[in-house]
A and B are shown apart, each in its own frame.
Chain A
Amino acid sequence: MFKKLSNIGDSGIVCDFGDEVNQKINASVIKLFHHVRKQVSKGNLKGILNYTPSYNKLIINFDLEKINSSKIIDFLKLVDFSQLNFSQNKKEWIIPICYDFEMDLKNISKTLKIDIDEIKNIHLNTTFFIYMVGFIPGHPFMGDLNSKLFLNRLKTPRVKIHPGSVGIVEKFCNIYPYESPGGWNIIGRTPTKLFNTKDNSNPCLLSPGDFVKFKSISKEEFENLNNE
């Protein structure tokens, strides 16, 4: 259940679920996200344009020509959270990762005093939960990593990160869908395409609320999958 509803600009609503970042709070955010999305697809909430879940908030953007914030707030106040189901829409994905493309494993091993194979094992044994997708298309923010692997961002972000790079910071793991600058610790690369700009019906692989496990692959397997 959200703690607070407020407006952001004249065509946005913030549903605030509290300050913490954990899977329980995010599951509530995702439940409401699925509910709003479903109502919109049924045509029940005309004028809603976007619904963006993050760790602890759902932001709803709307077309001020068709609806206004008080109507959306009225709708939200009537939502019965006990009736919303979280697991109905979730998917579990196995994402291949080739650790040979790491850029920071040696440094991480030195900093955390854990050997590289153990780092890979912890990463492979984690079932990641997707808190949110965004910043750029297809980009997942996943958690929670074992606290043994908690790291800060790089002091100097890299100017160019290769697409598919898998990075970790604090309890989070991400995958860069596009070439971009970045400050995360890069531990490997996946050949899986997270966003397909040619697929009109289902362009984005991962959704907020899905689960991800990584599977280690060799460089050869990486090249084969990458060329598919």
Chain B
Amino acid sequence: MSNNFFEVLRAGINTTYQDRGRFHMQHFGVAPGGCMDFKAFLIANALVGNNSEDGVLEFAYQGPLLKLVKGKTKIVITGNVLFQIIKINNEIINGECNKSYDLREGDQIDILATNKSAYGYLAIEGGFDLKPFCNSVSILARAHIGPNDGEKIKIKDKIIIKRNSINKKNFETKVPIKDRNIIRVLKGPQFDYFSKESQKDFFLKDYKITNLTDRMGMRLEGTTIKNTVSANIRSEGITKGAIQVPADGQPIVLLTDYPTIGGYPKIANVISADYHLLAQKIPEEKILFQNVELQEAEQLYKQHLNSISEIIKNIKEIN
């Protein structure tokens, strides 16, 4: 273990270590977890020259305030985030996302807030020094799983960095901000449970994101979806982005830390290419669901991955 570390001076609202997620364990009741916005996660690791599997710090809304007590490191923040670097001589640098910065001993990074989005990411060159649980460093706080005793980052925690920064250069890339209110979905396995009118409404009416939203799920508010068959089904395995409709007729989207089995009928499932867009939506925003077919969803995911590769390919050295 290295001796170099950050001290947490403010934890932020929901700050956790995350990576790609933890797989082959859903039959034991363990949700995959992992970063809510995979695109921002991949870009973060690429900008500091890390492996795409490396763990990062994910924060939501208000991020942490960290002081580099010992060591030197290179950091990057991705997403759409307001942050400052407070140098040891009190000089304040207004940070830009998708651009790496060097931190020296005594410097602080103050992640003030995500801007018109929910999640942001902090990656450091060489990665954080973390002990994986079942091949992942993702924290599933509800079940106390992962590093940091499976808990969210708290004030006074030590965040240990694997090694000092060795790369003298800094890097940046351009990430076009996509702000679309259309979220594309495939029809769910119980689409037929809902009235003909509700099937139409679901794709025509806005749904508002409510405050009851976290890494596990997102409660929506809008036109009531009427169930004409049964408000309960035999509990079955859940997939990320499943949209279930309980008896009250208001949809709930199941997100990354979903309960692994559920007994509500599912009207639709968000496509993989749009999941990160939905995950970044904040309360009061309105979305509109659009129906696509499987082949189109597969095609859109390929395009989505290509656009990420393109962004990573365009990483440039800062002169």
Q: Which residues of B contact A132 (CB under 8 A)?
A: 27, 235, 261
Which of A8, A11, A137 meets B30, CB within 8 Å? A137
Q: A50-B32, A57-B236 are in contact. Are A10 and B271 (CB under 8 A)?
A: yes
- Whether, in the assembled complex, A43 has its beta carbon less than 8 Å from a beta carbon of chain B, the answer is no
Which of A9, A33, A68 meets B27, CB within 8 Å? A33
> Quick one: which of B265-311 are within 8 Å of A by CB?
266, 269-272, 294, 297-298, 301, 305
Main SS class of interface, B = mixed
Q: Which residues of A contact B143 (CB under 8 A)?
A: 136-137, 178, 195, 197
Binds A, one of B95-103, B200-208, B238-246: B238-246
CB <8 Å contact, B298 and A9: no
CB <8 Å contact, B28 and A137: yes
Per-position contact with B for A113-135: 1 when CB-CB < 8 Å, else 0? 00000000000000000001111
Per-position contact with A for B25-40: 1 when CB-CB < 8 Å, else 0? 1111110100000000
Per-position contact with B for A185-209: 1 when CB-CB < 8 Å, else 0? 0000000000101001001100110
- Whether, in the assembled complex, A141 has its beta carbon less than 8 Å from a beta carbon of chain B, the answer is yes
In the complex the two chains form, what is the Cα distance from A5 to B26 in whole Å?
Answer: 20
> Quick one: which of A1-53 are within 8 Å of B by CB?
6-12, 14, 19, 21, 33, 37, 40, 49-53
Chain B residue with Cβ nearest A7: B294
- Whether, in the assembled complex, B178 has its beta carbon less than 8 Å from a beta carbon of chain A, the answer is no
CB <8 Å contact, A204 and B272: no
- Whether, in the assembled complex, A58 has its beta carbon less than 8 Å from a beta carbon of chain B, the answer is yes
Q: Which residues of B contact A197 (CB under 8 A)?
A: 133, 143-145, 150
Q: A64-B272, A139-B29, A200-B133 are in contact. Are A134 and B261 (CB under 8 A)?
A: yes
- Whether, in the assembled complex, B313 has its beta carbon less than 8 Å from a beta carbon of chain A, the answer is no
Which of B24, B27, B266 meets A53, CB within 8 Å? B27
For the side of the interface on B, what is the size category? 35 or more
- Chain A residues within 8 Å of chain B by Cβ, number: 47
Chain B residue with Cβ nearest A60: B237
- Whether, in the assembled complex, B142 has its beta carbon less than 8 Å from a beta carbon of chain A, the answer is yes
Which of B26, B134, B140, B145 meets A51, CB within 8 Å? B26
In the complex the two chains form, what is the Cα distance from A59 to B238 in whole Å?
Answer: 8
In the complex the two chains form, what is the Cα distance from A133 to B29 in whole Å?
Answer: 6
CB <8 Å contact, B261 and A54: yes
CB <8 Å contact, A49 and B150: no
Which of A7, A64, A204 meets B28, CB within 8 Å? A204
- Whether, in the assembled complex, A165 has its beta carbon less than 8 Å from a beta carbon of chain B, the answer is no
CB <8 Å contact, A134 and B28: yes
Q: How many Å from the CB of B244 to the closest CB on chain A?
A: 12
CB <8 Å contact, A10 and B27: no
Q: How many Å from the CB of A216 to the closest CB on chain B?
A: 27
Q: How many Å from the CB of B171 to the closest CB on chain A?
A: 24
CB <8 Å contact, A200 and B189: no
Q: Which residues of A contact B188 (CB under 8 A)?
A: 8
- Whether, in the assembled complex, A99 has its beta carbon less than 8 Å from a beta carbon of chain B, the answer is no
In the complex the two chains form, what is the Cα distance from A69 to B272 in whole Å?
Answer: 13
Q: A9-B186, A12-B239 are in contact. Are A49 and B23 (CB under 8 A)?
A: yes
Chain A residue with Cβ nearest B297: A10
In the complex the two chains form, what is the Cα distance from A64 to B261 in whole Å?
Answer: 21
- Whether, in the assembled complex, B168 has its beta carbon less than 8 Å from a beta carbon of chain A, the answer is no
Q: Which residues of A contact B236 (CB under 8 A)?
A: 14, 54-57, 59
Q: Which residues of B contact A133 (CB under 8 A)?
A: 27-29
In the complex the two chains form, what is the Cα distance from A134 to B25 in whole Å?
Answer: 10
CB <8 Å contact, B237 and A53: yes
Q: Which residues of B contact A58 (CB under 8 A)?
A: 237
CB <8 Å contact, B25 and A50: yes
Q: Which residues of B contact A203 (CB under 8 A)?
A: 28, 133-134
What are 23 A-B residue pairs whose CB atoms fall within 8 Å in the complex? A9-B272, A10-B269, A10-B298, A21-B234, A50-B26, A50-B237, A51-B27, A52-B237, A54-B234, A54-B235, A55-B235, A57-B236, A59-B236, A132-B235, A134-B261, A135-B29, A135-B261, A136-B259, A137-B25, A138-B29, A200-B133, A203-B134, A204-B30
Besides the known contacts A61-B239, A135-B260, A136-B260, 13 further A-B residue pairs in the complex with CB atoms under 8 A apart? A12-B269, A50-B26, A54-B236, A55-B234, A57-B234, A64-B298, A65-B305, A132-B261, A134-B259, A136-B142, A204-B25, A204-B30, A207-B28
Chain A residues engaging chain B, CB cutoff 8 angstroms: 6-12, 14, 19, 21, 33, 37, 40, 49-59, 61, 64-65, 68-69, 132-139, 141, 177-178, 195, 197, 200, 203-204, 207-208
